[in-house]
C-alpha cells in the first residue's frame, strides 16, 4: 500500500518552488511517478510531501534559435511522437522509445528519468551525445549545466533541496552530423538496460574526416559516462571500420561495470564494444545523410 503523504499540485513554477522550500528536505518533486511511486510502495523512498510539477507548463517541446527546449515534464510518448524530435534528434527518439513500455512512456517524463539518476537511465546517453544543457531552478537561483555534470552517483544528482530540473536545452546539431542510440536489455520492452549506448559523428566537409565524435554509455559505471578517450581517438581521423572498432575497444576500457542479476561485468564490457561500434556506424550513416531511420 502507498504510504499516506501530503500531495500538492501548484499552478505555477514559483508556487511549486515555494512549496518545496516550505516543506523542507522531505519534500519531493513528482511528475509521472513511474519511479517514485513504486519506490514509495517498497518503502525505499518516503517523502513527507509530493509537489506535482505536471501543471506548470513544463511539458512542451519548442524550437528556438539554435536549440530546442524540452520541458522536464514532457513524457517519453510525447518525445517519441514529436515531429521536431524525429526530424532533428533521432537519437533522442530512439532512447525515448526504448524506455519501459507504452504505458510507462505515457506517464514517465524526461526530467524524472534524469532526476532518478539510475545508472541505466536511457535518456542520458542520448542527451550526452547531443550536448544538452539542463536548467535547474530554485527560489534563489537559476543555473544551466551540461547534462554530464548533473549526475553524482547512483540515485544522486547535483539538485539541491528545493531545486527543480525545469527544462533541457538541446543544441541544433551541425551539418554533416548524425547520432544514434542502442540498448540491450533482457527482453524487448519493460526492461532496464544491461548496456545502453549513444554516439554522434560530425564529418568535415570532405565527408570522410571525423570533425567531432561523442560516445556515451549507460549501466556500466555509477553514472552514465562519456568515453572521452575513444572520442579523442576518432577526432581528426579518416573514417574507417578499423578505426571505429578500435574506438569501441577503447570506449569499453573506459567503463567500470559491475556484475549483477542482469549480467556479468565481462558481458557488459563485450556489449560496450559491439554497441559503440554499431552506434558510431549508424551515426556516421546518418551524418552522410544516407539513413535517417
Partner 1 sequence: MKKRGKGIACMFYPIGFTSYPNPGSAFVKVNQDGTAVVFTGATDMGQGSTTVLAQIAAEELGIRYEHITMVTGDTEKTPFDLGSVASRVTYIVGNAVKRAAHEAKRILLEVAAEKLGVSPDGLCAGDGRIYIKGLPERFLEISEVARIAQMGKGRPPIGSGSFNPITTFLDPETGHGKPYGAYVFATQIAEVEVDTETGVVEVLRIAAAHDCGKAINPMLVEGQVEGGISMGVGYGLFEEMVLDNGVVKNPQFTDYILPTSLDMPEIRVGIIERPEPTGPFGAKGIGEPSLLPTAPAIINAIYDAVGVRIRELPATPEKILKALRETDQGKA
Residue 190 is a binding residue for partner 1 (CB under 8 A): yes
**Residue burial 139-173, b: 16+ Cβ < 10 Å; e: rest:** eeeeeeeebbebbeeebebebeebbbbbbbbbeeb
Tally the C-alpha atoms within 13 A of residue 42's C-alpha that lie toward its C-beta.
8
Neighbours of 1 (CB within 10 A): 5
Q: In which order are the strands placed within the sheet that holds 133-137?
A: 61-64, 67-71, 164-171, 133-137, 142-146
- Residue 46 engages partner 1 in binding (rule: CB under 8 A): no
Note the helical H segments in 52-185. 76-81, 83-88, 90-98, 102-107, 110-116, 123-129
Q: 104 vs 138, which CB is nearer to partner 1?
A: 104
Q: By rule CB under 8 A, what string of x and - marks binding of each residue 4-43 to partner 1?
A: ----------------------------------------
Whole-number minimum distance, CB 236 to partner 1, in Å? Answer: 28
Report if residue 1 touches partner 1, rule: CB under 8 A.
no
Task: Pick from 63, 143, 156, 186 the residue near partner 1 by CB under 8 A.
Answer: 186
267 lines the binding site for partner 1 (CB under 8 A): yes
Contact flag: residue 106 with partner 1 (CB under 8 A): no
- Which grid coordinates are listed for 69? 527546449
Query: Burial level of 255, CB count in 10 A (0-12/13-18/19+)?
Result: buried
Choice from 153, 189, 232, 240 touching partner 1 (CB under 8 A): 189
Q: Which residue in 4, 43, 188, 205 binds partner 1 (CB under 8 A)?
A: 188
Q: Does 139 bind partner 1 (CB under 8 A)?
A: no
Name which position in 16, 99, 263, 287 contacts partner 1 (CB under 8 A). Answer: 263
Nearer to partner 1, 106 or 135 (CB): 106
Write out the residues near partner 1 by the rule CB under 8 A. Answer: 101, 184, 186-192, 261-264, 267, 270-271, 274
Amino acid at each position: 500500500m502507498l504510504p499516506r503523504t501530503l500531495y500538492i499540485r501548484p499552478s505555477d513554477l514559483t508556487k511549486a518552488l515555494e512549496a518545496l522550500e516550505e516543506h523542507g528536505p522531505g519534500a519531493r518533486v513528482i511528475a509521472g511517478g513511474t519511479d517514485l511511486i513504486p519506490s514509495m510502495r517498497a518503502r525505499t523512498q518516503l517523502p513527507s510531501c509530493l509537489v506535482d510539477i505536471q501543471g506548470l507548463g513544463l511539458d512542451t517541446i519548442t524550437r528556438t534559435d539554435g536549440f530546442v527546449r524540452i520541458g522536464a515534464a514532457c513524457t517519453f510518448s510525447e518525445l517519441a511522437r514529436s515531429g521536431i524530435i524525429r526530424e532533428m534528434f533521432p537519437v533522442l527518439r530512439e532512447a525515448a522509445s526504448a524506455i519501459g513500455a507504452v504505458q510507462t512512456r505515457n506517464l514517465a517524463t524526461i526530467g524524472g528519468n534524469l532526476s532518478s539518476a539510475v545508472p541505466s537511465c536511457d535518456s542520458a546517453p542520448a542527451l550526452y551525445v547531443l550536448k544538452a544543457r539542463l536548467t535547474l531552478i530554485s527560489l534563489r537561483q537559476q543555473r544551466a549545466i551540461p547534462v554530464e555534470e548533473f549526475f553524482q552517483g547512483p540515485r544522486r544528482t547535483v539538485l539541491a533541496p528545493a531545486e527543480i530540473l525545469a527544462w533541457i536545452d538541446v543544441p541544433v546539431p551541425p551539418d554533416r552530423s548524425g547520432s544514434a542510440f542502442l540498448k540491450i536489455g533482457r527482453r524487448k520492452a519493460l526492461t532496464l538496460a544491461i548496456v545502453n549506448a549513444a554516439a554522434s559523428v560530425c564529418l568535415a566537409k570532405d565527408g570522410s574526416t571525423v570533425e567531432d565524435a561523442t560516445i556515451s554509455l549507460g549501466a556500466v559505471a555509477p553514472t552514465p559516462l562519456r568515453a572521452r578517450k575513444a572520442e579523442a581517438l576518432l577526432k581528426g581521423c579518416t573514417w574507417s571500420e578499423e578505426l571505429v572498432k578500435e574506438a569501441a575497444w577503447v570506449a569499453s576500457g573506459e567503463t567500470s561495470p559491475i556484475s549483477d542479476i542482469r549480467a556479468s561485468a565481462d558481458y557488459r564490457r563485450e556489449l560496450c564494444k559491439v554497441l559503440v561500434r554499431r552506434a558510431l556506424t549508424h551515426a556516421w550513416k546518418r551524418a552522410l545523410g544516407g539513413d535517417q531511420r
